[in-house]
Structure 1
Amino acid sequence: MDSDSIEIEDLEECEDAEDTDWTTEVVEGRKNYIRNVNQRAVKTFLSRGRQHQVSLVLPPMYGEMLALALQRHIKGAGWQVTKAIGHSSHAPCYTTVSADYDKHEDVACKGYLMLTRDKERVVASIDVIRIDTFPANLVITGNRKKTVEEFAKGVNDLADSRKMYQGKKIELKGGISFVSPTGKSWDDLALSPELKEQIRTNTVDFLARREELAKYSILPRRGVMLAGEPGTGKTLVLKIIMSQSPGVTCILASAARLVSSQYIYDLYFVARDLRPSIVFLEDIDLIGEDRRKYKGQALPTLLAQLDGLAEVCTEVVTVATTNFIEDIDDALKKRPSRFDRIIELSLPDLEQRRRYVELLSRRIPMDEDVRECLARKAEGMTPAQIQEAAQSLVIEHKHSPLCAAQGCCAFGRDDVDRVVEIVKHD
């Protein structure tokens, strides 16, 4: 959750706001004043008498789920928000969370919600703004112990990570967001059957066979590293694995956050919690370089998580990609039980290029002669470059009467020669 979403109190309500020197001390003093006023408002709302409290505490990466669970319980159990105030500001903080595939909801993430239902009253104090390692926290306060406990239980039942995230495709950044599967299949991959089988056997099929493999004392954890120059299809492989893993939690790591050892710990905490799971580490080059060159703490943390030394990391498969396998630390690439398979995606041969051009022709109509010409001319090109050449055929095409007759662009060998030459020299 982004700390930039934290609201600052409405300074316009202060007398002579424009003339005020807003030093750090003044701002903090103002916050403390509002904090005290709001706490008195909470006490007044609950009236006198003994107060009961129940706290719900979750790991920080589950904060958005807790906020969403609170909102859904309020609506589902018939509670009404009478008043909402901040902890140290006039208004609570709100944020938008990922509630499901292509579904988002605005929820309160920090502040007090004063709630009523008939003659019952409770106050929900929530703070799920993620800062470092502070946990997500929700405190329910009320005069009736039974009401408070039932309210907390209702939220807790909804804030179940396995119910919400298990078996889904998600990305872990500051919080967790859902990633819609692309629908890609193994048929969309122009690799040799042997390479496809290697990838499938060590990822999707490995988890599907984990009970059978356990009979042979094979631990249900696996690491696969896909190596190859940019454009050889590594990202496409990840998309296919994600789409072809029903019932398996697929967790896409944030490349920008991989340099944080705390992030890596959180990543594998979620992977263990939502197992069986597959963790995708795209561009592991950022942290996986030889330790003689890279001195950060992220790599040692990753090694510990893969080895399961810190905690048992079972029913978890890790799939990483690298553009420069030669620069990866030996502790990663030459140590089974961390990355058990290094699968190199090389430049496609003629048969693979023919297969890939055929796949492209489903979207960009090309006759047999043009397809064969493109496949042969594309020697030494990556799949990404071949795709760019096919798209360039359309983008740079000059329409002719034949195009109108066919109802689509009509390409010739000269067109192929031109775009291939351009792409190869870009």
Structure 2
Amino acid sequence: MRGPNDAGFRRQQLTVEVMARDNERAQRLLAELRVLMRRLNVYRSRVVTLSEATDVFPAATKIELQSLPRIARESLILPEALLARLERSTIGFSRHRASLLASGRHLKRGLLLYGPPGTGKTLTAMYLASQMQERTTLLLTGLGVKLLKEACAMARSLQPSLVVLEDVDIIAQDRESTDSSCRSPLLFDLLNQMDGLAEDTDVIFLLTTNRPQALEPALAARPGRIDLAVEVPLPDADCRRRLLALYGRGLSLRGDDLAPLIARTEGVSAAFIRELLRRAALFAADAGRGVAVAEEDLKEALHELLVDGGPLTRSLLGAQGHRPS
């Protein structure tokens, strides 16, 4: 009997043969072994990523364990009602799994987080995953999306589980698009995997996108695949105040009145505010003020990002919606 090697390559290397006086007893033992394999699987309740190993022959799927960062709830700057709705649809389902199943409610579900770049969709997904530590979490990003079928097979085997697929529009663009490159076979894999789950399968699909308008209607508009679509918006004035307090930790911001800065940052993302305070801290250090950030540092940082940085910088930091005050 052999298992995965030290490099983490997953091959079919384990064979178990059972000899018994009658076939029924042998089948019963094999069924018990399968149950134990699923229950004691080393990947159960862990965070894993899948990738294709191209440096071995024959080709193999490489499974790697990952660690999620510790994300405190107060570090997730979203409107309270929005965050509560997301928690209820994920953490709440997990907490009440047994009673929901006993009452005949289905457990499989799909969530879509959409909104401009830099608003915290990935951070929100990581926070929700970290709060459901009993779930096996499979992260699909970059080239890892090619192993969608393998990841979903693991998710079914190791349920309760969570499949996180970032930037789903890359593989699930509208088939009516004039761009023929949008017709990805992975779209059909995704639709088939979501459709192929039994009602009592405890698997959550958590998808993110910056471009909900580009999504294939069969995914985004058909009931039964996406149960909840939530916009993660640009921060309002209250959220910008909280973001300034969060990312301003460790800095001595001169003056208690941040109202002018809150007003001037209308229409920017959380990522923009984080970079704004980093630039301001750099200007303060260059001026010999250490961590004492003055108003002129904030103004200079804001000008550098919004004006000197040009439209590409504004786009990358999620400030396309900024309206000069």
Which residue number corresponds to residue 165 of structure 2? Answer: 281
Supply the distance in 2 between the matched residues of 1:368 and 1:355 (Cα, whole angstroms). Answer: 16
Supply the distance in 1 between the matched residues of 2:194 and 2:250 (Cα, whole angstroms). Answer: 40
Supply the distance in 2 between the matched residues of 1:370 and 1:394 (Cα, whole angstroms). Answer: 18
Which residue number corresponds to residue 74 of structure 2? Answer: 187
Task: Determine what percentage of the aligned residue pairs are the same residue.
Answer: 28
Find the partner of 2:45 among 159, 167, 172: 167
Instruction: Describe how 1:236-275 pairs up with structure 2 within 5 A.
Output: 236-258=123-145, 260=146, 263-275=147-159
* CA spacing shift, 1:250–1:370, aligned 2, 3 Å: farther
With the length of structure 2 as denominator, give the TM-score of the two structures. Answer: 0.77
Q: Secondary structure, in 3 states, of the residue corresponding to 1:396? A: helix
What letter matches 1:387 in structure 2?
A: R
CA contact 1:173–1:254 (8 Å) conserved in 2: no
> Shift of the alpha carbon at 1:243?
1.8
CA contact 1:221–1:314 (8 Å) conserved in 2: yes
Find the partner of 2:229 among 331, 342, 347: 342
> Shift of the alpha carbon at 1:210?
1.6
Supply the distance in 2 between the matched residues of 1:216 and 1:138 (Cα, whole angstroms). Answer: 39
2:256 is aligned with 1:369? yes
> Shift of the alpha carbon at 1:370?
6.2
Q: Give the number of the structure whose residues are more often strand, by fraction.
A: 1
CA contact 1:224–1:320 (8 Å) conserved in 2: yes
* CA spacing shift, 1:364–1:234, aligned 2, 3 Å: farther
Higher relative contact order (CA 8 A, sep 6+): 2
Instruction: Describe how 1:114-193 pairs up with structure 2 within 5 A.
Output: 135-137=11-13, 160=37, 162-174=40-52, 175-193=62-80
Supply the distance in 2 between the matched residues of 1:230 and 1:220 (Cα, whole angstroms). Answer: 30
> Shift of the alpha carbon at 1:255?
2.5
Instruction: Describe how 1:40-59 pairs up with structure 2 within 5 A.
Output: none
Q: Secondary structure, in 3 states, of the residue corresponding to 1:397? A: helix
Q: Secondary structure, in 3 states, of the residue corresponding to 1:164? A: coil
Supply the distance in 2 between the matched residues of 1:257 and 1:181 (Cα, whole angstroms). Answer: 17
> Shift of the alpha carbon at 1:308?
2.1
CA contact 2:163–2:205 (8 Å) conserved in 1: yes
* CA spacing shift, 1:368–1:280, aligned 2, 3 Å: farther
Supply the distance in 1 between the matched residues of 2:194 and 2:186 (Cα, whole angstroms). Answer: 12
Find the partner of 1:301 among 168, 185, 189: 189
Supply the distance in 2 between the matched residues of 1:314 and 1:365 (Cα, whole angstroms). Answer: 51
> Shift of the alpha carbon at 1:374?
3.3
CA contact 1:220–1:316 (8 Å) conserved in 2: yes
2:264 is aligned with 1:326? no
* CA spacing shift, 1:189–1:400, aligned 2, 3 Å: same
CA contact 2:49–2:144 (8 Å) conserved in 1: no
> Shift of the alpha carbon at 1:180?
1.0
Find the partner of 1:379 among 245, 266, 281: 266
Q: Secondary structure, in 3 states, of the residue corresponding to 2:293? A: coil
Supply the distance in 2 between the matched residues of 1:371 and 1:317 (Cα, whole angstroms). Answer: 40
* CA spacing shift, 1:169–1:242, aligned 2, 3 Å: same
Supply the distance in 1 between the matched residues of 2:305 and 2:72 (Cα, whole angstroms). Answer: 27
With the length of structure 1 as denominator, give the TM-score of the two structures. Answer: 0.60
Find the partner of 1:221 among 108, 125, 130: 108
Root-mean-square deviation over aligned CA pairs: 2.6
Find the partner of 1:212 among 89, 94, 99: 99
> Shift of the alpha carbon at 1:216?
3.6
Q: Secondary structure, in 3 states, of the residue corresponding to 1:203? A: helix
Which residue number corresponds to residue 392 of structure 1? Answer: 279
Q: Secondary structure, in 3 states, of the residue corresponding to 2:92? A: helix
Find the partner of 1:414 among 287, 291, 296: 296
| Poorly superposed stretches of 4+, deviation over 6 Å | none
CA contact 2:94–2:132 (8 Å) conserved in 1: no
Max Rg structure? 1
What letter matches 1:352 in structure 2?
A: C
Supply the distance in 1 between the matched residues of 2:91 and 2:110 (Cα, whole angstroms). Answer: 12
Deviations 1:218-267 (A, max 9, x none): 21111110001111111111221122112111110133232x3xx21111
CA contact 2:78–2:239 (8 Å) conserved in 1: yes
* CA spacing shift, 1:312–1:324, aligned 2, 3 Å: same
> Shift of the alpha carbon at 1:372?
4.0
Which residue number corresponds to residue 353 of structure 1? Answer: 240
Deviations 1:270-318 (A, max 9, x none): 1111111111001101111001232222111111111226x67711001
CA contact 1:370–1:413 (8 Å) conserved in 2: no
Supply the distance in 2 between the matched residues of 1:344 and 1:218 (Cα, whole angstroms). Answer: 26
CA contact 1:356–1:383 (8 Å) conserved in 2: yes
